[in-house]
């Protein structure tokens, strides 16, 4: 399992910025080292374990970019059009014979360039004369309409870096090299618990004062999107001893323990004390809204993150804390979230020194600019505020207010996982 050194939380300060907190933990987790070979079709979203260097150039051979007529550069018509006898015909997948001097070869897109030729006239730019010769216009540059071997990628080029999170285009590149499998980091195993006496599992009876546990399904789904294998450890009651036991048991079998709820400082918040009884805890009162508090710790060498119970706080802290930790544990190269500048169509006041996230919908304004419309209500418990919006506007620590028309950074939900 992934290990975390026990002294890694030796730091002071009660309230940490998101960046400090994330840096502190990601710099100290040791990535898992186990790898597995997976078929290309299974590789999407996985973390590449080893560099891939190009075993062949792309394209592998010089070929025609268009349907037309191939000629030798030294034969190109100069000054005025010129008729060429057509000798030979080479189609995609076939190989042509060497071209004769002063002749043109009929050629099709993707077909290898006949030896001696280096230029292709598009069929739209030529005509055939009565004798069947092709009349080629003057003015085409030598080398036109040809894709030279290696113009995309040279043999030996570092094409895919270890730590990349593989995307369909990366898989395509591996296929273009003729590979059938890629070595990837094994999936992280992550345990997810919900905590709270007020929670009922979907499918079980719900008492009048209970609500169905939604966070666990949100978090498990988010983890799956990040390529993790998830253990659903259900709902834990607001009671310290069983909580501690479950966490300790989970630690030995997982790379990360993730809980939601029970991390505040109320009498019925038992996650803190449970973690302290079986491991070490630092309550990171992180300077993030919605979010704070987020608990982080270590149990038997396994990192622990306790997210808040309010669904929106849970979502936002997952994205900004759990995601970077998961990426670090899986040996991924850091993938910073890139906020896209949009125009605020709302006013907002915030505390300095705290990063805040506003749920927004995007709209195209009359002048063509993209505008962010704030969800009308702010509660951190409103699931509808996540469902009915497109993403989050990120307001950095230093800002204290936003006025309509200000430029703000927008993070689309689709870009977060």
Q: Is 22 helix (H, G, I), strand (E, B) or coil?
A: helix
Binding flag, residue 67, ligand AMP (CB under 6 A): no
Residue selected from 96, 309, 324, 331 as contacting ligand AMP according to rule CB under 6 A:
309
The smaller minimum CB distance to ligand AMP, of residues 133 and 378, is found at: 378
**Contacting residue, 116, 196, 291, 324, with ligand AMP by CB under 6 A:** 196
Distance of CA 311 to the CA centre of its chain: 23
CB of 411 to ligand AMP, least distance (A): 23
By CB under 5 A, is residue 308 in contact with Mg ion? no
Binding positions for ligand AMP, 224-243, rule CB under 6 A:
none
Q: Which stretch binds ligand AMP (CB under 6 A): 95-103, 145-153, 259-267, 323-331?
A: 259-267
Q: Does 293 bind Mg ion (CB under 5 A)?
A: no
Per-residue tokens: 124: 């739209």
Q: How far apart are CA 302 and CA 115, in angstroms?
A: 62
Q: Does 306 bind ligand AMP (CB under 6 A)?
A: no
**Binder of residue 202, out of ligand AMP, Mg ion, none (CB less than 5 to 8 A by kind):** none
Selection from Mg ion, ligand AMP, none that 213 binds (CB < 5 to 8 A by kind) is: ligand AMP
Q: Rounded CA gap, 383 and 247, in Å?
A: 27
Cis peptide bond prior to 320, omega within 30° of 0: no
Helix (H, G, I), strand (E, B) or coil at 63: strand
- Whichever of 145 and 260 has its CB closer to ligand AMP, that residue is 260
Q: Is residue 297 part of the contact set for Mg ion (CB under 5 A)?
A: no
Provide DSSP, 360-410: EEEEE-TTS-EEEEEPS---TT-THHHHT--EEEEE-TT--EE-TT-EEEE
Distance CA 339, CA 342 (A): 9
Token readout for 136 is 């080629």
Which of residues 283 and 328 has its CB atom nearest to ligand AMP in the complex?
283
- Nearest distance from residue 272's CB to Mg ion, in Å? 12
Rounded least distance, CB 218 to ligand AMP, Å: 8
Is the Cα dihedral 403, 409, 415, 417 positive or negative? negative
**Residue 348: other Cβ atoms inside 10 A:** 19
The pair of three-digit structure tokens given for residue 223, joined into one six-digit string: 């983890």
User: Rounded to the nearest whole angstrom, what is the least distance from the CB of residue 277 to Mg ion in the complex?
Assistant: 18
Contact partner at residue 259 from Mg ion, ligand AMP, none, CB < 5 to 8 Å by partner kind: none
Q: Is residue 311 at the binding interface for ligand AMP, with CB under 6 A as the rule?
A: yes
Distance CA 183, CA 196 (A): 41
**Of the residues 116, 163, 227, 261, which one makes contact with Mg ion according to CB under 5 A:** 261
111 and 96 Cβ atoms separated by less than 8 Å: yes
| Positions that interact with ligand AMP (CB under 6 A) | 194, 196, 198-199, 213-216, 260-262, 264, 308-311, 381
Instruction: State the residues that interact with Mg ion by CB under 5 A.
Output: 196, 261-262, 309
């Amino acid at each position: 399992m992934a290990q975390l050194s026990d002294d890694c939380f030796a730091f002071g300060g009660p309230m940490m910025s998101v960046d400090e907190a994330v840096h502190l933990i990601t710099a100290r987790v040791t990535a898992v080292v186990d790898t597995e070979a997976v078929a290309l079709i299974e590789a999407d979203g996985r973390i590449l374990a080893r560099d891939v260097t190009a075993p062949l150039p792309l394209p592998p051979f010089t070929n025609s970019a268009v349907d037309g007529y191939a000629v030798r550069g030294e034969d190109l018509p100069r000054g005025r059009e010129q008729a060429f006898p057509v000798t030979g015909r080479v189609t995609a997948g076939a190989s042509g014979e060497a071209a004769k001097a002063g002749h043109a070869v009929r050629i099709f897109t993707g077909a290898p360039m006949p030896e001696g030729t280096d230029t292709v006239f598009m069929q739209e730019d030529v005509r055939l004369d009565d004798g069947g010769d092709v009349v080629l216009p003057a003015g085409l540059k030598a080398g036109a309409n040809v894709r030279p071997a290696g113009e995309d990628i040279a043999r030996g080029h570092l094409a895919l870096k270890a730590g990349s999170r593989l995307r369909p285009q990366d898989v395509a590149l591996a296929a273009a090299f003729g590979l059938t499998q890629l070595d990837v980091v094994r999936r992280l195993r992550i345990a997810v618990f919900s905590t709270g006496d007020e929670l009922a599992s979907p499918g079980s009876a719900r008492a009048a004062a209970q609500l169905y546990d939604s966070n666990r399904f949100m978090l498990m789904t988010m983890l799956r999107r990040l390529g993790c294998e998830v253990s659903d450890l259900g709902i834990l009651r607001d009671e310290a001893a069983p909580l501690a036991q479950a966490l300790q048991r989970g630690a030995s079998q997982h790379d990360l323990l993730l809980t939601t709820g029970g991390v505040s400082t109320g009498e019925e918040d038992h996650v803190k004390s449970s973690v302290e009884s079986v491991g070490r805890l630092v309550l990171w009162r992180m300077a993030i809204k919605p979010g704070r508090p987020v608990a982080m710790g270590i149990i038997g060498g396994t990192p622990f993150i306790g997210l808040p119970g309010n669904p929106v706080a849970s979502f936002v802290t997952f994205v900004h804390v759990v995601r970077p930790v998961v990426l670090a544990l899986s040996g991924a190269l850091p993938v910073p979230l890139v906020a896209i500048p949009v125009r605020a169509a709302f006013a907002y006041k915030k505390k300095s020194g705290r990063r805040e996230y506003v749920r927004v919908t995007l709209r195209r304004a009359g002048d063509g600019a993209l505008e962010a419309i704030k969800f009308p209500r702010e509660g951190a418990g409103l699931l509808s505020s996540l469902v009915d919006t497109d993403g989050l506007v990120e307001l950095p620590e230093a800002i204290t207010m936003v006025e309509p028309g200000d430029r703000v950074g927008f993070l689309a939900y689709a870009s977060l996982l």
